Every structure is written in structure tokens, then in C-alpha cells.
Amino acid sequence: MIASALALLIMQVGPNPSVGGMPGIPDELANRSPRATTEQTARPASGNLSRCLSLASTTPDDALDFAQAWRETGTGELDNAQAAHCAGLALVGLDRFSEARRLFEQASSEVPDDNAPYRARLMAMAGNAALAGGDAVASEPLFAQAVQTAANSGDASLIAGLQVDHARALVASGRPDDAARVLADARTSDASNLRAWLLSATLSRRLQRLGEAQKQIEQAAILGPRDPAVGLEAGVIAALSGREDDARRSFESVLVVDPDSDEANRARAYLEQLGQ
């Protein structure tokens, strides 16, 4: 049992518990789908934005040309913000993350004062672009500003989601204790946010706070009983706590709910370790 738990500890935590373990680039940057990017607006997308986002997902160079022409003929602040938003996503598609970050920041500053949620989302996209470009330290204040901008919106789900992203940046910057505090804020902002509970459990486990991790993963399991990532994390926490039977059941549950997932592949590897 001890040997198995140590093997899992090495695979899951590594020499520095502040490194890794949090999600990578969010969908709006990694997948670059028109649906994901359109959802970044707090209001329905204009015809120009919908068309530009579609171009950004398929032919980003064309999207850049479209966005530039749009800015030259736009009729107000929101047009300018949306054009910069689309141009930023096109630059993401070209892996030009530093330029994308600057455009998202510009777009955020151009959003009218009465649309704080959109302004906050754009600032978070600037943070995501910085993360994607490998500059975690620069991303952290951008996420902090996004959270502050959204604070008075009354949108608990938005605030919690931005706080989770802020925590990711703090982990990537080597500040896990600060990240844990921000994740606690996210859980307070929206107690139904599954991702906040799951990432809290992951971070607590990496910091070897297994008692906290267990409570957090139990709450995540209530919110997402069939989420394979929850089952996988629950199994790792159980194994590191010396509860191999519980770990085995959790890993086996992942195979049942989503047998073809990456989590299932990892669960099979862990089950083999437990068997040894």
C-alpha cells in the first residue's frame, strides 16, 4: 500500500507542488471555436462580430483584415472593442500571444461603462493570452483586474469563474498559497462552481493538505457525480491518504462514466499501480 501511494505521489505531485496540476489554456484560446469566442460577450454579438469570429476560427489572417476595416468604419466604442476582441482572437490563432494580449487589453478599455461583464471577460482573455505565451507573472494582475471589474456586476458565476482563472495564474507564478485563498473566494462567490471545488481539491492535495482536499473533493462529487476528473482526483487523494480500496473504487468509476477519456486512461494506469 505504501509503495503504491508513493508511486502516485511522485506522478501527481512531483518535486514542486506549486507546479502544474491546474488546467491549461481555456477553451476560448485552445479550441478557438466560434461558439466559445462568441460567448465572451455579455450581450448578443453583432453581425460583424459573429462574422469576424467565424473568420478567426478558420482563416485568422482574413479576420485580421476584417477587424482592421471594421475599426476604420465603426460607429462607436462598442464597435471598436468588438473589432479589437476579434483581432485578438485571430492573433491567438496565429500563436501571436503577446500582440493578442495587448489587443484584448485595448478592447477591454474601449467597452462602454455600462457593460462591465464584457469588459471583465476581455481583460481575462488578456490574462489567458499572457498565460498561453508563457508569461504567468504578467497574467496574474490581468486576472486580478478582471475580477475587480466584475465585482459589482452581481453575476456570481462570472466572478467565481474569473477567480478560478486568477488562481490558475497564481499557481503558474509559483504562488500556491495565494491561489488557495483566491479559490476560497471563488467557492464563496458561487458555491455551485464545480471547477472551483475540483481545483481546490487538486491544489490542497499538491500542498499535502489531504484533509482539506478530501472535503473539497467530496463537495465536487456532489456537484459533478459523473465528472471523470472528479473521480480521478478523488482516487488520487484516497490513495495518498492510504485508503486503497476507496481509491480503487474511484478509479473504476471513471472507467464506467467515460471509458474513452484521458481520465480513464490515467485511471487504468493507477489501477495497475494499485494492483502491484
Q: What percent of the chain lies above the pLDDT cut of 70?
A: 83
- Residue 167: what pLDDT? 97
Predicted pLDDT at 46:
62
For residue 128, pLDDT over 80 is answered with yes
28 pLDDT exceeds 90? no
Highest mean pLDDT among 26-30, 31-35, 88-92: 88-92
Q: What's the predicted TM-score (pTM) here?
A: 0.83
* pLDDT tier for residue 110 given thresholds of 50, 70 and 90: very high
Domains identified in the chain and CATH numbers: 1-17+195-276 (1.25.40.10), 23-174 (1.25.40.10)
**pLDDT at residue number 150:** 96
Average pLDDT over residues 156-185: 97
**What mean pLDDT, rounded, does the chain reach?**
86
More confident residue, 275 or 202: 202
Q: Which 8-state DSSP code applies to residue 46?
A: P
Secondary structure letter of residue 193 according to DSSP? -
With beta carbons less than 8 A apart as the criterion, state whether 84 and 71 touch: yes
Residues with Cβ within 8 Å of 95's Cβ and at least 6 positions away in sequence, in order, are none
Question: What was the pLDDT predicted at 6?
Answer: 34
CA distance to 80, 174, 274, per residue, from 269 (Å): 50, 28, 9
The residue among 146, 153, 245 whose CA lies nearest residue 164 is 146
CA gap 49, 66 in Å, rounded? 10
pLDDT tens figures, 44-94: 456 888 999 999 999 999 999 999 999 888 778 899 999 999 999 999 999
